[in-house]
Amino acid sequence: MQTRNLGKSDIKITPIIMGTWQAGKNMWIGIEDTETTKAMRAAFDAGITTFDTAEVYGNGHSEQIVGQALSDIRDKVVYATKVFSNHLKYNQVIEACERSLTNLKTDYIDLYQIHWPAGTWNSEIVPIEETMRALNDLKKQGKIRSIGVSNFNRQQIEEAAQFGQIDSLQPPYSLFWRWVEKDLTPYCVENNISIIAYSSLAQGLLTGKFGPDHKFAEGDHRAKNKLFANKDNYQRIQQALDNLRPIAERNNCSLGQLALAWLIAQPQSNAIVGARNAEQAIGNAEAGNVKLSAEYLAEIDSIGRTVTDHLDDQPVMWDF
């Protein structure tokens, strides 16, 4: 898989990135460590070299699984992890980074991201200047190689950029969730900031595996996703998927691969996608080889808007 530069850094990332929220197990059902480990190795063997995690995923468990699965090929992979919104004071950032380094069994993190802005999820409001000072110090020490932000709006990312180089933005972004395009994509293009999209398959919706009457198991956080929970949205999604299926067939790929191929063809955009097992990981990697014509990209775009034109302006995908 052809790599791309991460922002203005010299770090090379793959446009398909393996996400590991599910590896933390918390808020997911039916996840097994052995299967997750096999999925990560299969992803690497299929060409994915970039892996995204966070300290909050299973309280470090996801990071630990990443470290166990990939430590013997550490020099061939890129680690991206995140510090949560309740650890954004100077000393808290330093301590959180040390925990992540231990969990990941490494002495450096390629991309260290602020997971949510200070003040979200009932966290304390900390000046971004203080958080960025900690991140810049970690960068000088060689403990992190680049700085990113996640779930920031344009004003927040502009403010953070006053205090250091921001190489990536991680927003929710998919064919069915396109809030980022309004003003963040133009900013990222102008400032050479990589967009690393999470929920790039709309939490599985874009695979087409959830039928009209799907019900999630108790404890699965996706039940609170606005795309699933709102009946009108869900009906529009099913129609859009029906319209996308012939395009996938003509391009010899699955629905999920089509959605990922569309996403990584958008300006500055890369796709984080999770996998429960090796088969899913390999399928995700193959999306990096799907090349869509301008006509197909436009047709897919139009179908996606039959869903997104009806959504509200709230950027958070869940009603937690």
Mean pLDDT by 10 residues, the chain (320 residues): 96 97 71 89 98 94 95 98 98 98 98 97 97 98 98 97 98 95 97 97 91 77 79 91 98 98 98 94 96 98 94 74
Count: domains in the chain = 1
Residue pLDDT, tens place only, 134-165: 999 999 999 999 999 999 999 999 999 999 99
Q: Which residues are catalytic?
A: 57
Q: Which residues pair with 114 in a beta bridge?
A: 83, 149
Q: What global pTM score does this model have? A: 0.93
Specify if 248 maps to a domain.
Answer: no
Specify if 59 maps to a domain.
Answer: yes
Specify if 223 maps to a domain.
Answer: no
Specify if 70 maps to a domain.
Answer: yes
Specify if 83 maps to a domain.
Answer: yes
Specify if 165 maps to a domain.
Answer: yes
Measured CA angle at 281 (ends 167, 148), to 5 deg:
10
C-alpha atoms less than 13 angstroms from C-alpha of 220 in its C-beta half-sphere = 15
User: 229: which residues sit within 8 A by CB, 6+ positions away?
Assistant: 223, 319
**pLDDT for the residue numbered 25:** 65
**pLDDT for the residue numbered 51:** 98
By CB atoms closer than 10 A (0-12, 13-18, 19+), residue 231 is exposed
**Which residue from 170, 84, 166, 164 is spatially nearest to 124, judged by alpha carbons?**
84
Quote the domain boundaries for residue 260: 4-207+254-291
Specify if 157 maps to a domain.
Answer: yes
- Which CATH number is 19's domain given? 3.20.20.100
Specify if 247 maps to a domain.
Answer: no
